[in-house]
Structure 1
Amino acid sequence: MARSDLRGPSADALADLTEKLGPARGIRAGVARLASRVTGHEDETTGSDLAQVGDDLFAVAGVLRREASVRRMVTDVSTEPRAKSGLVRQLLDGKIGSRALDLVADAVERRWTRTRDLADALEHLGVVAVVDSAGDDAQRLSDELFTVGRMLEQEPDLRTALSDPARTTDDKAALLRSLLEGRTLPATLRLTEQALRGTERTVSIAIEEYQKIAADAHGARVATVRVAKELSAADQERLAAALSRQYDRPVHLNVVLEPGLIGGMRVEIGDDVIDGAVSSRLDDARRRLAG
């Protein structure tokens, strides 16, 4: 479901649809901030509205993945675009909110490189909407997604339970809710549950992808920093500032402790790897000695 997986017309369509979602969420957020300054109270409708848009888009993506006949019908290039959007409005009117319905109707009028790309794009838009529902807690959301991903890596029993084909998706979602509800942002729980229903191979991979989407939605990049011992807050700030200058955009750090590195650090950001770990230098030395 990674945005980078979309090519040609699909990539162009997703970019346009993201722009259409963007102004709406920006206007809502601006109105909410103005209202809170005037009244002295936080406006909860913005977050809940966006969360509902996300849920609706996730639901439609799920239908398109399950129902091959519907998927073929709404991506058929021989069918007039207005006819496809009219059909979608007829099928979904009253079942999802008007904002999500407008986005889906717009989406089916566009060209898609592969039929599956439509569902992937709607899921991506749903993630962006849920991310924005967190409002000023977007940084916390990113941190919580990273923590959930680490928990899945470190708890093999939980990982096994979530990959067990004998358990239903609803059962797995209930298990996650029992662990996260009341301890994380609602947006974190929503995205973690959606990770069970998306197209990624594992929940961990989906959560990692969602964190990247969360960072990208706010103009940032994610760097995984592997270190042998804890970095101080000051060191993290300096590293984040240096990476932000290098990549010309904000960089969010995910710090992972790996004692096996001995010393130094390894930074992974996108396809780039900056390796200053002592263990890597020792491995290089051993390879050179082995000839």
Structure 2
Amino acid sequence: MVRSQEIARRYAEALYEVAVDADALEAVQGDLAEITQGLGENEEVQRFLSHPLVPRDAKSALLTAAFPDLTEWVGRFVDVLIRHQRERYIDLIWEQFVALRNAREGRLPVRIDSARPLSEQDRQRVQAKLEGAWNRPVVLHEQIDPTLLGGVRIEVNGRVVDGSIRLRLDQLQQQLQE
């Protein structure tokens, strides 16, 4: 796993530098996210891409057909990954790319779990409070978790603030059992 992370980090750094030079960070990150999400949703395509007997041309053709609107840089990058048999690392490369960008831009990734999607007003309020508390820009990653029942659970730098109804119910149940 450490070797996989190191491989992904190197490719992510190279792509990051290309994206900076081309002034295309947003587009490149968006393309990587699209590929990662698209591949993550289809196990057949994952097996096809990771199979050693599938010719590289067939892999390139599949990805070109599946993602026709990729930027020039990401299209070339995917070709390099296929040529060097590194396409199985695309999800790790995306994670490393995002982490590298956040670090270089001084942004703090924050995970917010909620029972239902946050309204734009709630999202802005949470973001403003977190930016004030951490004194730096934050990047919100929202996840829907219906088991929370209501409220939110926020994770920042390994710290968790749980304001969910599920936690309150669990605590109440524990108190009643005592």
Q: TM-score range by the shorter chain?
A: 0.5 to 0.7
Shift of 1:280: 4.9
CA shift digits 1:19-63 (9 cap, x unpaired):
xxxxxxxxxxxxxxxxxxxxxxxxxxxxxxxxxxxxxxxxxxxxx
CA shift digits 1:115-154 (9 cap, x unpaired):
xx7x77753541321331452x534544554444333333
1:267 matched to 2:154? The reply is yes
Larger RCO: 1 or 2 (CA < 8 Å, sep 6+): 2
CA shift digits 1:52-91 (9 cap, x unpaired):
xxxxxxxxxxxxxxxxxxxxxxxxxxxxxxxxxxxxxxxx
* Structure 2 equivalent of residue 152 of structure 1: 39
* Structure 2 equivalent of residue 232 of structure 1: 119
Equivalent pairs counted in the alignment come to 175
Distance of aligned partners of 1:251 and 1:289 in 2 relative to their CA distance in 1, 3 Å threshold = same
Query: When the two structures are superposed, what TM-score results if normalisation uses the length of structure 2?
Result: 0.66
* Structure 1 equivalent of residue 20 of structure 2: 132
Distance of aligned partners of 1:161 and 1:146 in 2 relative to their CA distance in 1, 3 Å threshold = same
Contact in 2 for aligned 1:191/1:207 (Cα 8 Å): no
Shift of 1:157: 2.8
The separation in 2 between residues aligned to 1:284 and 1:193, in whole angstroms, is 52
Is there any run of 5+ residues in structure 1 with no aligned partner, and where?
A: 6-116
1:212 matched to 2:99? The reply is yes
Distance of aligned partners of 1:192 and 1:250 in 2 relative to their CA distance in 1, 3 Å threshold = farther
Distance of aligned partners of 1:158 and 1:121 in 2 relative to their CA distance in 1, 3 Å threshold = closer
Contact in 1 for aligned 2:49/2:87 (Cα 8 Å): no
Shift of 1:174: 3.5
1:224 is paired with a residue whose SS is strand
Provide the alpha-carbon RMSD of the alignment: 4.0
Give the helix-richer structure, 1 or 2: 1
* Structure 1 equivalent of residue 138 of structure 2: 251
Letter in 2 for 1:152: L
Query: When the two structures are superposed, what TM-score results if normalisation uses the length of structure 1?
Result: 0.45
Is there any run of 5+ residues in structure 2 with no aligned partner, and where?
A: none
Give the strand-richer structure, 1 or 2: 2
Contact in 2 for aligned 1:146/1:211 (Cα 8 Å): no
* Structure 2 equivalent of residue 24 of structure 1: none
* Structure 2 equivalent of residue 102 of structure 1: none
